[in-house]
């Protein structure tokens, strides 16, 4: 897929994304006022969402990154490897985990447990996308950008074989209607 490839279907426009991210930032700013939260972006996928979200935050906050690799074939296997741990000390801090997408939920489940072992004051989850028909998680996802059907999407940080992260919108691979 490239700019000339007809097989890309826009699912969420850049305009809708920016509007929704602004709403999320406003809500998070209200809820965490005076709490100095630390946002932890999950690399690589969340880097664009985190960058946009942070610029809509109107309260004191900090940020860090964590990197994991999930060994998946065509589906999430549940085997997750920690590539880069957080550098910040999150003990007694309000942590907001920032994900690009929750699919099976295995990655976010792993990350919550990892961060929880450092005894934070609270852990919240902000995900740009959620596939509600697939995600099987036993905790609340606090902030959700968009719920999407169970199909593979790219753009706005999300990749297919490391490509297409730079696209401003969210695209479905293939041009068949939803
Ligand atoms: P999980 O199944 O919730 O553990 O998701 C694992 C990871 O797979 C996510 O953090 C994404 O990086 C990636 N992923 C899941 N669904 C998609 C998709 O539709 N497009 C691109 N990446 C995806
Ligand atoms: Mg990811």
Measured in angstroms, how far is the CA atom of residue 33 from the centroid of ligand 2? 27
pLDDT at residue 153 tops 90: yes
DSSP state of 5: -
What proportion of the chain, given as a percentage, has pLDDT over 70? 90
CA-104 nearest atom, ligand 1: 2
Query: Domains in the chain, start-ordered, CATH in brackets?
Result: 20-148 (3.40.50.2020)
Query: Strand locations in the chain, DSSP E?
Result: 8-12, 38-43, 62-72, 76-84, 94-102, 122-130, 143-147, 153-154, 170-173
The more confident residue out of 44 and 70 is: 44
Q: Which atom of ligand 1 is nearest to the CA of 78?
A: 4
Say how far apart CA 174 and CA 92 lie, in whole Å.
Answer: 45
Residues 6+ apart with CB under 8 A from 141: 102, 108, 125, 127, 130, 135
Say which range, 25-39, 59-73, 120-134, has the weakest mean pLDDT.
59-73
């Amino acid at each position: 897929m490239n700019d000339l490839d007809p097989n890309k279907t826009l699912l969420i426009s850049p305009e809708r994304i920016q509007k929704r991210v602004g709403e999320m930032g406003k809500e998070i700013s209200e809820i965490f006022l005076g709490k100095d939260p630390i946002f932890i972006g999950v690399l690589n996928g969340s880097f664009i969402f985190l960058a946009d979200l942070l610029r809509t935050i109107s309260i004191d906050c900090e940020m860090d990154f964590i990197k994991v690799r999930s060994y998946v074939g065509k589906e999430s296997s549940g085997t997750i490897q920690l590539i880069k741990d957080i550098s910040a000390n999150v003990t007694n801090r309000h942590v907001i985990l920032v994900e690009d997408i929750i699919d099976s939920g295995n990655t976010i489940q792993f990350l919550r447990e990892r961060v929880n072992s450092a005894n934070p004051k609270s852990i919240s989850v902000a995900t740009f996308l959620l596939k509600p028909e697939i995600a099987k998680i036993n905790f609340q996802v606090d902030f959700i950008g968009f719920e999407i059907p169970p199909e593979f999407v790219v753009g706005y940080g999300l990749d297919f074989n490391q490509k297409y992260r730079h696209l401003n919108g969210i695209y479905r691979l293939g041009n068949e209607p939803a």
